Amino acid sequence: MVTSNLQTPPSERFQRGWEQLKAIDGEAGEQVVESLNKIAPDLARYVVEFPFGDIYTRPGLDLKSREIATVAALTALGNARPQLKVHIQAALNVGCSREEIVEVVMQMAVYAGFPAALNSMAVVKEVFES
């Protein structure tokens, strides 16, 4: 498990976030955090605590809905290929079908433009083929 660069035990937020990250992103998420921990341990901790420990554990949306929103947002950003790749796999992990992921990316052509959708569809293809 990744910990902060301090010699203190992980917080409850971190523990909750770490478990959620593993459930959603699996090994790919763990690898991202481990890689960050080598160069910026505080950023690694923030990534676990805030999005996964605080936001992904909130009531109101299930994990599938959260991943659909995340794939849509990352597609619309158009500059987050590595994160999009991880979250497409996460969407599959939490129950999204391939068809749903393709439709989310196609929907973003309307709001983010065709270049963003086309580039994201290339990432979708890469994830589906792996």
The average confidence (pLDDT) of the chain is 91
CB distance 30 to 91 below 8 Å: no
Cα–Cα distance, 86 to 70 (Å, whole number): 10
b/e per residue 61-76 (b: at least 16 CB within 10 A): eebeebbbebbbebbb
Residue 25 — pLDDT band, cuts 50, 70, 90?
Answer: confident
Q: Which domains does the chain have, with CATH numbers?
A: 1-58 (no CATH), 60-130 (1.20.1290.10)
| Side-chain half-sphere CA neighbours of 101 within 13 A | 29
pLDDT of 53 over the 50 cut: yes
Of 45, 39, 43, which Cα lies nearest the Cα of 10?
45
| Least confident piece of the model among 28-37, 85-94, 120-129 | 28-37
Residue 94 has φ and ψ, to the nearest 5°, of -100, 10
Residue 7 — pLDDT band, cuts 50, 70, 90?
Answer: very low
Cα–Cα distance, 31 to 109 (Å, whole number): 30
Structure tokens at 107: 């929907």
The mean pLDDT value for 96-110 works out to 98
Percent composition of the chain: helix, strand, coil (DSSP 3-state, to 5): 80, 0, 20
Residue 1 — pLDDT band, cuts 50, 70, 90?
Answer: low
